[in-house]
Structure 1
Amino acid sequence: MTEQDAMPHAEPREWRSLPERVRRVWLLRSVVADLTTIAVCAALAAVFVAVDWWGFWQGLVLGVIAGFAAVELATQPLQTRYEYAFQRFSIGRRDLRIRKGWMFRKSVTVPFNRVQHVDTKQGPLLRRFGLMAVSVHTAVGEHDIEALDQDEAMRVVDLITARVLTANEDV
């Protein structure tokens, strides 16, 4: 039974993936965070030794934290591949749907008549790769399409804005 069979009045969905370049952004973010964590653990270890406060528990705690960061760093290429494979979005006539997660999956449907505003975000890494995030705001939260090509992001903002105006006129 397909999704359409289960919901006979549902509109057909075209699930779209994010640009392939977003995988490099995710990988770089993780590398920076994990290397920073390892560097902070090393600096704390040096300070603890210098002030003669080094003991079993300090070594254990810092070792575990640095170890988790190292494992995260080593497995990040695989995590990024699966995260990219399972992240999709779809813009319908009445709503926006976003699917995320490869191990812990999350799906959200945002009806256009609940949208308060739509904006874009672009940090240094997204800008470097020519990407932009689209954020859809409702009364209860913010829902992101994490990265699109800059021109496509602006088209998506315009499309969602037009659908929001149409949905609000129908109410």
Structure 2
Amino acid sequence: MESDDWRPLPDRVRRVWMINALIQSMAILAGCAVAAVVCRMMDWWQIWQPAIIAIAAAYAVLQLAFQPLQTKYAYAFNRFAIGDREFRIRKGWLFRSSVTVPFNRIQHVDTRQNPVLRRFGLTAVTVHTAVDEHTIDALDDAEAERVVKLITQRVAESKEDL
């Protein structure tokens, strides 16, 4: 944990990402169905309403169809590292980003869980700076507590060095 090696996310995060994508796609499709019913009832059913609803529905279906591939590559490239002087996070599979945040720039660290994360025993950890926030998408609950404690400790040590 205290080395500078890139650490992967727990394997269970793949299922969380798949379930979240399914929920999002179902919500979009439900919204499309409601919009179609309302448009038909209000006699707003011309050319552009069905086109917009069809595009939104197609997006939801395609997003869900490609989610397994997205999940595979997102898992392969999402990593984090906690060094002696900085926190590093790497994300993305098509559009990749890597961020290094010195501990003396971190303002606070928090955790969050949605119902799906909670079901799988995972917690997201977010590191806040004055300008931005950087999130580790999911860690085991106990590991998330250790990471928050370690980062908080390193932040306090780095502020004492100033």
- TM-score bracket for this pair, using the shorter chain length: over 0.9
1:129 aligns with 2:120: yes
Match of 1:90 in 2: 81
Q: How far 1:151 sits from its partner (Å)?
A: 0.6
**Matched-pair contact (CA < 8 Å) for 2:6–2:81:** yes
In the aligned structure 2, how far is the partner of 1:118 from the partner of 1:64?
Answer: 39
State the Cα RMSD in Å: 1.1
Match of 1:138 in 2: 129
Unmatched runs of 5 consecutive residues or more in structure 1: 1-11
In the aligned structure 2, how far is the partner of 1:45 from the partner of 1:98?
Answer: 42
Structure 1 residues 73-82 or 93-102, which shifts more?
Answer: 73-82
In the aligned structure 2, how far is the partner of 1:19 from the partner of 1:157?
Answer: 16
SS of residue paired to 2:94: coil
Match of 1:6 in 2: none
Radius of gyration: which is bigger? 1
Name which structure has the greater RCO, CA cutoff 8 Å, separation 6+: 2
SS of residue paired to 2:5: coil
Unmatched runs of 5 consecutive residues or more in structure 2: none
Q: How far 1:13 sits from its partner (Å)?
A: 3.2
Alignment of 1:54-93 (within 5 A): 54-93=45-84
Alignment of 1:1-171 (within 5 A): 13-171=4-162
Query: Percent identity at matched positions?
Result: 57
Q: How far 1:35 sits from its partner (Å)?
A: 1.1
* TM-score in terms of structure 1 length: 0.90
* TM-score in terms of structure 2 length: 0.95
**Amino acid corresponding to residue 145 of structure 1 in structure 2:** I
In the aligned structure 2, how far is the partner of 1:93 from the partner of 1:28?
Answer: 36
Q: Deviations over 1:31-87 (max 9, x none)?
A: 111111011111211221122211111111111111111100111111111111110
Structure 1 residues 45-54 or 78-87, which shifts more?
Answer: 45-54
Aligned residues: 160
Runs of 4+ displaced beyond 4 Å? none
